[in-house]
Amino acid sequence: MSVKIAKNSGFCFGVKRAIKLALAASQKYNNAVTLGPIIHNPQMVNKLQKNGIEYVNNLEEIKNRPTIIRSHGVTREVLNELQKMDIDIIDATCPYVSKTQVYAKELHERGYQVIIMGDKNHPEVIALRSYVDGGTIIAATPDELPAKKFLKAAIISQTTRNITDFQNMVSALVPRCGELLVVNTICNATSIRQKSTLKLAKESDLMIVVGGKNSSNTKMLAKICDKFIETYHIETEAEIDTNWFENKQKIGITAGASTPDWIILGVYNKILKCLGKEEQQVESVELIPGFKEE
Q: Of 35 and 97, which has the nearer Cβ to ligand SF4? A: 97
Catalytic residues: 124
* Stretch near ligand SF4 under the rule CB under 6 A, chosen from 93-101, 165-173, 195-203, 277-285: 93-101
Residue 257 lies near ligand SF4 (rule: CB under 6 A): yes
Q: Is 38 in the site for ligand SF4 (CB under 6 A)?
A: no
Neighbours of 101 (CB within 10 A): 22
Size of the site for ligand SF4 (CB under 6 A): 15
User: Residue 255 CB, nearest distance to ligand SF4 (Å)?
Assistant: 12
216 lies in the binding site for ligand SF4 (CB under 6 A): no
Whether residue 213 contacts residue 233, with contact meaning beta carbons closer than 8 Å, is answered with yes
Taking CB under 6 A as the criterion, the residue among 25, 74, 97, 206 binding ligand SF4 is 97
Min dist. Cβ of residue 186 to ligand SF4 (A)? 9
- DSSP letters for 10-25: S--HHHHHHHHHHHHH
196 binds ligand SF4 (CB under 6 A): no
Among 38, 53, 94, 116, binds ligand SF4 (CB under 6 A): 94
* Largest pairwise CA distance in the chain: 64
CB 142 within 8 A of CB 114: no
Radius of gyration of the chain (CA): 21
Q: With binding defined as CB under 6 A, does residue 92 bind ligand SF4?
A: no
Based on the shown chain and the rule CB under 6 A, indicate whether residue 9 belongs to the binding site for ligand SF4. no
CB of 101 to ligand SF4, least distance (A): 11
> How far apart, in whole angstroms, are the C-alpha atoms of residue 32 and residue 230?
42
Find all residues with CB under 8 Å of 16, minimum gap 6, and list them. Answer: none
In angstroms, the Cα distances linking 275 to 222, 242, 263 are 22, 8, 19
Chosen residue from 34, 41, 159, 254 binding ligand SF4 by CB under 6 A: 159
Give me the amino acid identity at 42: P
Helix axes 95-109, 13-28, angle to 10 degrees: 110
Smallest gap, in angstroms, from Cβ of residue 160 to ligand SF4? Answer: 5
Say whether residue 272 binds ligand SF4 (CB under 6 A). Answer: no
Please state at what angle helix 188-203 crosses helix 216-226, rounded to 10 degrees.
Answer: 30
Q: Does 158 bind ligand SF4 (CB under 6 A)?
A: no
Q: Does 217 bind ligand SF4 (CB under 6 A)?
A: yes
Q: How does DSSP classify residue 245?
A: G
Residue 223 to residue 229: CA distance in whole angstroms: 10
By CB under 6 A, tell whether 220 contacts ligand SF4.
no
Based on the shown chain and the rule CB under 6 A, indicate whether residue 21 belongs to the binding site for ligand SF4. no
Q: Is 156 in the site for ligand SF4 (CB under 6 A)?
A: no
Q: How far is the CB of 277 from ligand SF4 (least distance, A)?
A: 32
